[in-house]
Amino acid sequence: MWSTPVGISVSPFLHPQSPPTNLNQLSFLPSKGPLPNKAGVCKASQVVDLFSTVSPDVFVREARLEDCWEIAETHCSSFFPEYSFPLDFVLRIDRILALVVGLSVPNGCHRTCLVAVIGSSGNETLFGIEEFRIGGFDTRLSLNKGYVAGILTVDTVADFLPRRKPMRQRRTGIAYISNVAVRENFRRKGIAKRLMAKAESQARSWGCRSMALHCDLNNPGAMKLYKDQGFKCINVPEGAKWPQPKTSPHINFTFMMKLLNPPSLSAA
């Protein structure tokens, strides 16, 4: 059974030491018509929201151990809604295992799963005195942890980025966005935009120069969301075998990138 990693990472083909100063210098992919929906294909058009209004009781934070099942439920119900028991249950278990294992990253890399929680301010009472971690998770348990309505993964691992020659080194300075999903009942409330904003803040805190992602070309809603957030389609060089997310073979991806401008310095 194929499995989509919880966190994946890519980078543009430009050398990390010489990043472009203007995305207009890069060529873009031509627009393509919609692809037919097929069983097993990620229903990516179902997992983004387009409106700016945000529910006042939505709080975005890093995922915790107790969020694992709801994260898996959000992921599978968004990307694989046509699957039924027992396959849907197996997929959720697979997601949980990938989530725990995937948040252990190589030295010098980062990976974080963000969750948009309904009904939690982030200041709730917690069980336990000492904090400890399993994989990439804070294991504190909450009396009122809220309900996970949306998820997003951001990392700098560069799993889905062509390596730098000749030593095939990982690309650096790029934060990669993946697995953006919002539960059906909470769409069109700006949750995806809030998750993206939090991910950008996280990327800046890691010192990243840019952000990147793959988007399904059969997903006009997601394309609009990312373009509204400043992402642009980047043309993959002809004949280049760039790695892509390991999903259904029927998915046709475009690579998108956003440059992160350095914080403006206030006048002395």
Q: Which residues are catalytic?
A: 226
Tokens of residue 229, six digits: 């957030």
Residue whose token pair is 């949750």: 191
Tokens of residue 175, six digits: 């934060």
